Structure 1
Amino acid sequence: MKGEGRLLAIPGGVDDFREIREGGYYFVDKSELVSDIVNDRSKVFLFTRPTRFGKSLNLSMIDAFFNLEYKGNKWFDGLKVNSHPEVEEHRNAYPVIILNMKDLFVSRRDMFLPMFKGMLSRTFRSFEYLKTSDKISESLRDLYLGKDPVYFEDARALDFIPALCQMLEQHHGVKPIVLIDEYDNPINNAFNKDTYDDVMGFLREFYSLVLKSNPYMSFAVVTGVMQIAKESIFSGLNNLRVDNVFSKKFDERYGFTEPE
């Protein structure tokens, strides 16, 4: 890594694991979160922490470890995760879908769905190779690959991520991982506004389709600031491991311990 043998820079505001490891920044080693996830074997992980606790950085680190796009990288050289041989079969072995909910600022009812579909469009850009794949079923190709997600009708937008999971499994032969950053951001932004019920209702159905009724996903990691009541947003999701500021198992993987 750059910066070895000299004073490193403090990565203020940098939440990209690859940039930190390649750019000569200090990095407090939280890589054993990867082995924790592999060994826990839950289907869906929900990590809730206050802002500036490293949620986005850890999600970027998870992407860097599991994503098959990054085979052969040196980002984890010298990190603690390498002392866990059981994770090696998972290293850079999965397609990874990243949904970033940070930018879904909702001030009006008519803004939410266009912004949501725009997020789906940005998410799909790294998977456009599926359009020319001869492994994708004709029905999926006709329904989802004919136009940009920004132009989808509402129902098609709701089930696009499960369909993308299915297409990625068909193409790569392995079920993808889904990462969702700041899942609660649009809900918090809509609070006390006339769009709140619409946003909550839409996202309740969306998260159910992605995280509960999705047989084409290996596992998911979801982050957020608040732990919205399970009955409100994740109703019926029995495979959800919730880890918050009061939890013990993953407590040292977010924020800093006193020695750190």
Structure 2
Amino acid sequence: MQIDILPNNVYTVGDDKRGYVHMKSCKQMAMVWGISERRVTGFCKEGMIPGAVKVGKRWQIPDDAKRPADKRIVTGRYIKSGVENEKKPLPVGISDYIRAQLEYYYVDKTLLIKEFLDRKAFVSLFTRPRRFGKTLNMDMLRVFFEISDEDTSRYFTDKAIWKCGDEYRKHQGKYPVIFLTFKDVKYDSWEATFAKISGLLQEEFGRHSELQNSDKLEKYEKNYFEKVLNGQANEVELSASLQKLSKMLAIHYKKAPIIIIDEYDTPIQEGYSKEFYDEIIGFMRNFFSGAFKDNSNLSYGFLTGILRIAQESIFSGLNNLTVNSVMDEEYDGFFGFTESEVAEMLAYYGASDKEEELRSWYDGYFFGNKEIYNPWSVINYLSRGCLPQAYWVNTGKNEVLEDVLNTATDDITEKLYSLLQGDRVIARIDQNVVYRSLAEDPANIYSLLLVAGYLKTPKKELQGDGAWLCEVSIPNREIAAVYKSEILSHLMQIGAMGRATANKIAESLYAQDTKKLQDGIGEYLKKSISFYDAGAEGFYHGLVLGLIALMDNQYRIRSNRESGDGRYDISLFPRENKYPGMIMELKWDKDLNDEELDALSAEALDQINKKGYDTEMREEGVADIIKFGIAFSGKKVKIRTE
């Protein structure tokens, strides 16, 4: 037997029968198998790993070795029949394909490669919400297609793409690849943004250092390469970097490269929000045009992003761009988790009994015709011991929302409140709007909310102009929580004071403390609105809905529904019998004194009884019902209860 020591402490063991086999240390294999180094050493000592050899004082293991079965009895979360069933850890925040599929539980999305090779789109743009697996999928494409000194086919031999035949396998490892991700390019100025992009290009040029010594490139090309590599290229020179690098790679390898740009629109969104939109658009237009428009040194191009709305200003004239959005059926199951993938994951971790809870919190998206779960939230839910929380809301928010919400009309505001109550609203979804038009037409808010992951489309119909007429609704309980923290708070302009007041109102309802409730609403009115805001009953209706939205864990909140002989304003249906039901009737009039305001609240309370607004609630078995007559005039409020 022959043992050779190679760089990086990798041993190669060979003999006439086996040839050469790459070896790993116990520590490296422990990371791959997700167990302790001590356990791996124990397996070696017991002769449970075929091919393991001891070199000096350390064991070396073939890197394709399978983890031995372990019969020890242990305690823990996922145990079946008293036998330990060690599980791979969950890939929280992992977007490196090699690491994800080697060391973690990996949901196989490699058939995305087959789908692409079947369609052979020259340049593909995939638009999906944040944290839906875009970066991991793009890195998978890079590893699959990229020429490498390492045999990277081993990362796919046990995946679905490998079973599809030689027609697809022959593309593996055959292309030079340019890969950039802009997901972290989030800065307040163009200068800082350009510096970050320059640094990313330096790193990518450095990844192709073989070009420095290529005998196939001209001297001026090498000089340009060195200039970028040393961080000396100016804005104009860098705007042509993708075009020039693709040409150099094509000459060196005699094969046109693949260009992958992940989260292309992140710096553009920042530019729009931070007021350097013209600078970023001017740069990106030339940057992408050189890469994807009339580039003879390109095999294929892939881009991902959240929004499609920069297409007009950046990709104008790019006729070979194929856009795949949340509305399209193509590639609909490759971003996010499908129902079957989630069921398999739950079974693997012994948590199949949590399927219903998981569905209510993180399911509900529709991409094309497929129902999709939020992958980030599913992974975090399982990794936190099946604790349901709004994980996605903490991954960063879309700042463009603020600009759009500032333009929301009364009609849009009312619809947003309706969505929060679980209703569906009709909306026109136009995927071709550009950033500058968002503030011009407030109705674009629905298009933005849909592609950003805040809405789903249970029903849709394509129109003649390419837009969609849709029924939209909130996908799940997690996004309902997001609405409260991001959208509802903005609409109500709830700052630190406002949120404290909203909490006080929720507490007063819970404690059935009418005086505290009146004080809380009055405090909010005095500190948060002007007399010009207080215009009509609809305004106060929306305000109260917003303030009591924090109660939706205990109550199902309904608004403007028929019951008895009329339509009540707001009802709170208890989710558990220990809570009382609540009915609110709101009245408003101008310039009322305290006595008149008190009389108006009495009239509101009397209307609840006369119209029988409690009929619906009693039919659902709620016996204990509190009735509120609430009267407003300017910044004053009076509440009567029964």
TM-score, length basis structure 1? 0.93
Q: Distance in 2 between matches of 1:39 and 1:92?
A: 18
Gap change, CA 1:149 and 1:203, over 3 Å in 2: farther
Structure 2 unmatched ranges of 5 or more:
1-31, 35-66, 70-85, 342-642
Correspondence for 2:257 among 160, 176, 189 = 176
- Which position in structure 2 is the counterpart of 1:54? 133
Q: Distance in 2 between matches of 1:153 and 1:72?
A: 36
One-letter amino acid of the structure 1 residue matched with residue 140 of structure 2: M
One-letter amino acid of the structure 1 residue matched with residue 118 of structure 2: N
- Which position in structure 1 is the counterpart of 2:55? none
2:161 is equivalent to residue 76 of structure 1: no
The Cα shift of 1:9 comes to 1.3
Correspondence for 1:193 among 252, 255, 274 = 274
Contact 1:181/1:224 (8 A) holds in 2? yes
Gap change, CA 1:14 and 1:192, over 3 Å in 2: closer
- Which position in structure 2 is the counterpart of 1:105? 186
Contact 1:118/1:149 (8 A) holds in 2? no
One-letter amino acid of the structure 2 residue matched with residue 64 of structure 1: V
Contact 2:95/2:136 (8 A) holds in 1? yes
Q: Distance in 2 between matches of 1:238 and 1:141?
A: 32
The Cα shift of 1:203 comes to 0.7
Matches for 1:75-224 after TM superposition, within 5 Å: 75-85=155-165, 86-146=167-227, 148=229, 150-224=231-305
2:103 is equivalent to residue 31 of structure 1: no
One-letter amino acid of the structure 1 residue matched with residue 337 of structure 2: F
1:169 is paired with a residue whose SS is helix
Q: Which moved more, 1:101-110 or 1:141-150?
A: 141-150
1:47 is paired with a residue whose SS is strand
Q: Distance in 2 between matches of 1:105 and 1:254?
A: 23
Q: Distance in 2 between matches of 1:109 and 1:78?
A: 45
2:175 is paired with a residue whose SS is coil
One-letter amino acid of the structure 2 residue matched with residue 78 of structure 1: D
- Which position in structure 1 is the counterpart of 2:95? 15
- Number of matched pairs: 259
Gap change, CA 1:198 and 1:217, over 3 Å in 2: same
Q: Which moved more, 1:111-120 or 1:243-252?
A: 111-120
Contact 1:117/1:149 (8 A) holds in 2? no
Structure 1 unmatched ranges of 5 or more:
none
1:19 is paired with a residue whose SS is helix
TM-score, length basis structure 2? 0.39
Contact 1:149/1:157 (8 A) holds in 2? no
Contact 1:2/1:21 (8 A) holds in 2? no
2:320 is equivalent to residue 231 of structure 1: no
Q: Distance in 1 between matches of 2:251 and 2:282?
A: 31
1:51 is paired with a residue whose SS is coil
Contact 2:126/2:325 (8 A) holds in 1? yes
The Cα shift of 1:142 comes to 3.3
Q: Distance in 2 between matches of 1:205 and 1:72?
A: 34
2:131 is paired with a residue whose SS is coil
2:146 is equivalent to residue 67 of structure 1: yes
Contact 2:153/2:172 (8 A) holds in 1? no
1:139 is paired with a residue whose SS is helix
The Cα shift of 1:104 comes to 1.7
Q: Distance in 1 between matches of 2:260 and 2:230?
A: 19
1:252 is paired with a residue whose SS is coil
Contact 2:128/2:134 (8 A) holds in 1? yes
The Cα shift of 1:96 comes to 0.9
2:183 is paired with a residue whose SS is coil
Answer 1 or 2: higher relative contact order, Cα 8 Å, separation at least 6. 1
- The runs of 4+ residues in structure 1 deviating greater than 6 Å are none
One-letter amino acid of the structure 1 residue matched with residue 162 of structure 2: N
Contact 2:128/2:306 (8 A) holds in 1? yes
